[in-house]
């Protein structure tokens, strides 16, 4: 197991694997997104309370899920990078941050668009909304902190520490609708014994969550490949790789 772990942490090995898997993940995600979108916007019936407005969940829920999942990935990879000094782990965290910030922004935007007809206002200092906004600020803080260092090693350490510390916000986001009085809708699909959503509405949502995760995975692999090339541009394997490219030299 440890041999596999160390091999995966090798930049050239990871670069080759990412190049193999990223196109498959991208095209699979796009196909599933098309199917899930059709199921959610066409096949699923209107909600008996929210009407057609409920359909925004097919963008909002996957974005909200990914906003926290991506940050958790950042925290884990940053921790691995800090403890075992694996540069590739920091590269993954740095590559994931802009994607996570984008999904967080989409989550907030779609939540605001849903909130106007349902709550009568675009914004309310609701615990879930506020903690999600804080998450967006943490993403921005992480990226800004990294950008403030010219030395990549110092940027990795400083950004990694912030990513690990910031993970404390994730359980606050998750349990905010339970711990405090909240306008935000409570758990619906996480009650596995009896989800508070009908099956014909649920399957497109679950499919879109899976598809969005695959889409994120593809984007991440593309970004990590670029990050690895930037970090390893003076390495022999990168020079050999560039020499093999059509038109090189």
| pLDDT per residue as tens digits for the range 182-239 | 656 656 555 545 556 888 999 999 999 999 999 999 999 999 999 999 999 889 998 8
Residue 184: closest CA among 115, 134, 122: 115
Q: How many helices (H) and strands (E) does the chain have?
A: 9, 0
pLDDT of 53 reads 87
What is the spatial distance between Cα 185 and Cα 146, in angstroms, rounded to a whole number? 35
Measure the N-to-C terminal CA separation of the chain; round to a whole number of Å.
40
Per-residue model confidence (pLDDT) at position 180? 61
Give the per-residue pLDDT at 179: 67
Scan for tokens 């091999």, then name that residue.
7
Q: What is the reported pLDDT for 125?
A: 85
Question: DSSP state, 51?
Answer: B
Residue 192's pLDDT is 45
Residue 95: CB partners within 8 Å, gap ≥ 6?
220, 223, 224, 226, 227
Instruction: Give the chain's residues under pLDDT 50.
Output: 192, 248-249
Contact assessment for residue 228 and residue 15, using Cβ atoms and an 8 Å cutoff = yes
Residue 116: the pLDDT is: 86
pLDDT at residue 247 in the model: 56
């Amino acid at each position: 197991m440890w041999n596999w772990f160390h091999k995966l942490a090798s930049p050239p090995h990871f670069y080759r694997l990412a190049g193999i898997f990223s196109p498959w993940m991208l095209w699979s995600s796009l196909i599933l997104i098309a199917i899930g979108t059709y199921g959610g916007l066409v096949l699923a019936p209107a909600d008996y309370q929210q009407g057609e407005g409920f359909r925004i969940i097919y963008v909002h829920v996957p974005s909200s899920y990914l906003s926290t999942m991506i940050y958790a990935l950042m925290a884990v990879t940053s921790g691995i990078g800090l403890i075992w000094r694996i540069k590739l782990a920091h590269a993954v965290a740095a590559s994931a941050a802009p994607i996570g910030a984008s999904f967080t922004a989409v989550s907030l935007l779609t939540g605001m668009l849903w909130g106007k007809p349902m709550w009568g206002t675009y914004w309310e200092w609701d615990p879930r909304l506020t903690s999600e906004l804080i998450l967006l600020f943490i993403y921005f803080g992480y990226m800004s902190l990294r950008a403030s260092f010219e030395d990549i090693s110092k940027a990795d350490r400083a950004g990694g520490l912030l990513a690990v510390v910031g993970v404390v916000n994730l359980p606050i986001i998750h349990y905010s609708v339970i711990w405090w009085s909240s306008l935000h809708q409570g758990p619906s699909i996480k009650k596995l014994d009896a989800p508070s959503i009908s099956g014909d509405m649920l399957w497109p949502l679950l499919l879109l969550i899976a598809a969005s995760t695959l889409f994120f995975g593809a984007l991440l692999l593309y970004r990590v490949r670029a990050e690895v090339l930037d970090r390893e541009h003076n390495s022999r394997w990168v020079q050999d790789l560039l020499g093999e490219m059509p038109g090189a030299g």
